[in-house]
Amino acid sequence: MIDIKRIRAEPDLVKAGCAKKRIECDIDRILELDATFLGLSPKIDELRSQQKLGSKEMSKATPERRVEILEEQRGLKEQLRALEAEMTACQEQLQPLLLTVPNLPAEAVPEGVDDQDNVELKKWGTPRSFDFAPRDHVEIGEAQGWLDAETAGRIAGSRNYISMGELARLEHAVLRFALDMMIDRGFSPAIVPVLVRAEPLWGTGYFPGGGDQIYHTDDRDDLYLVGTAEVPLTSIHAEKIHDIKNLPIKLVAHSTCYRREAGTYGKDTRGLYRVHQFQKVEQVVIDISDEKRSLEHHHMILQNAEDLLQAFDLPYRVVNVCGGDLGAPQVQKFDVETWMPSRDGYGETHSASRFHEYQARRLKMRYRDKEGKVHFCHTLNNTVAASSRILIALLENHQLEDGRVAIPEPLRKHMGGLEVIGKSL
RNA sequence: GGAGAGGUGGCAGAGCGGCUUAAUGCGCCAGAUUGCUAAUCUGGUGACCCCUUCGGGGGUCCGGGGGUUCAAAUCCCCCCUUCUCCGCCA
């Protein structure tokens, strides 16, 4: 959510932001409703003021005077009822519209329609050239008995995986490495609910708009399975006015993540790339409302992801996500794409977002500055490691000719010292 | 799942239809006093919206939403949530 005052003051800027993001939003209708609201507000306040005065006099008045006041009060009540009804009607139209206004993209966000137009910022590592015919992760996994798509499908439907044996151990190792790394860097760990109410999803900007991708329980419970720990993790600090001394807040959590992947039929159907359930370690930063600080945090959380990939010796690139590929809530987003030999290209493994006040405003997450003034916080988040996609990269990039897989040195301590997993095929 | 008790400002906690402009205490801020710190005394101390001649004025907010009333923190209904006991349970 952006500030209605900003829409009033700079409607053209807001419209330009919508256009850059390729998001349709009726700003003029919002301004029209807002004007109605601004017209009604002083009238209602004035009537209420009179009503309060009358009510106060009533308590001390003589019986005769009471009759008169009662008459006046009845009149006021009727006028108020009518105006309040108008106000409610106005708000009922305005509020849902305001929730659809996207956050304004940063200047540095490239123009563009979709991910084809994302701009590469940097590349790290060199994709390996194999002197044998490399297998993809599904071939390796099935041959080693680590993956069984058919069984996963029988148990849970398509787009599911079961990692078994040494692969499961590797998955745990990756998550553990990611968590430990972030704790070392000053992030506070949490274990959070993955089944949540609607409010945190509205608050973090997944509603409205993202509902199609989210599993929803039946109405006995009316809860949602989160697609990322970002949702509960960021919401921990909602509806509070924080002491500036406690900022920034840096959080890290592992969670299972659920995605319906509606509308992706036929796309990435093979293997671990696009699945309904995976494991992820996520980092969240909450700090003061300061563009420069936010940008510094953005680079910091991006660096955390890069450091993890470098530790795993996985080639990657960083892209600056273009306007059309940006979600409504983000000011800017850097995607990290890791080299996946089977795709003969880079596949998204991390997504570092900066939101400014957008989430905080919805979550009513504020802080008091040194002068005692209250402001909305800035929030950011990024993946540290998303298990299924990083497993693709690890298996495919570090495979040996005989079908075994080398374990990067930093992961070995979580693998009981194993340097290589699998059997010779 | 059953029974009961609660949810009031940063925190604790009173109020249970109009003397509430939400008492009081703690905390916090400022001033006074005092070698320093501490203590003591005095004063101040919220969020949000609208208007403003920038001095200020008006309104909303007592878990959330409805309702009753001239008037609701206070009465009624629904929901959320916390605690205690019982049941079930990793």
What type of residue is A254?
A: H
pLDDT digits (tens, 9 = 90+) for A3-16: 898 999 999 999 99
What per-residue confidence (pLDDT) applies to A371? 75
Q: What is the ipTM score, two decimals? A: 0.82
What per-residue confidence (pLDDT) applies to A245? 81
Q: Measuring from the CA of residue A372 to each C1' atom, give the nucleotide at the shortest distance.
A: B29
pLDDT mean over A255-260: 94
The pLDDT-based confidence of A43 (bands split at 50, 70, 90) is confident
Domains annotated for chain A, with CATH where assigned, are 4-99 (1.10.287.40), 115-421 (3.30.930.10)
Q: A49 and A80 in contact (C-beta within 8 Å)?
A: no
Q: Is the CB of A99 under 7 A from strand B?
A: no
Nucleotides on chain B that have an atom closer than 7 A to a protein CB are 10, 18-19, 21, 46-51, 57-60, 70-71
Q: A354 and A332 in contact (C-beta within 8 Å)?
A: yes
pLDDT digits (tens, 9 = 90+) for A322-352: 999 999 999 999 999 999 999 999 999 999 9
Distance A396 CA to B42 C1' (A): 75
pLDDT mean over A27-44: 91
For A6, A18, A80, A297, A331, the CA distances from A26, given in Å and listed in that order, are: 15, 10, 30, 33, 20
Q: Measuring from the CA of residue A50 to each C1' atom, give the nucleotide at the shortest distance.
A: B58
pLDDT digits (tens, 9 = 90+) for A292-329: 999 999 999 999 999 999 999 999 999 999 999 999 99
**% of chain A with per-residue pLDDT over 90:** 68
pLDDT mean over A249-268: 88
**% of chain A with per-residue pLDDT over 70:** 100
Q: Where do we find the tokens 């671990």?
A: A272
pLDDT digits (tens, 9 = 90+) for A364-405: 888 888 777 788 999 999 999 999 999 999 999 999 999 999
Q: How far apart are CA A405 and CA A140, in angstroms?
A: 9
What per-residue confidence (pLDDT) applies to A108? 95
A49 burial (CB, 10 Å; 0-12 / 13-18 / 19+) is exposed
Q: Is the CB of A58 under 7 A from strand B?
A: yes
What per-residue confidence (pLDDT) applies to A265? 75
The pLDDT-based confidence of A419 (bands split at 50, 70, 90) is very high
What per-residue confidence (pLDDT) applies to A84? 86
Q: Measuring from the CA of residue A376 to each C1' atom, give the nucleotide at the shortest distance.
A: B47
pLDDT mean over A145-163: 92
Q: How far apart are CA A179 and CA A358, in angstroms?
A: 27
The pLDDT-based confidence of A158 (bands split at 50, 70, 90) is confident
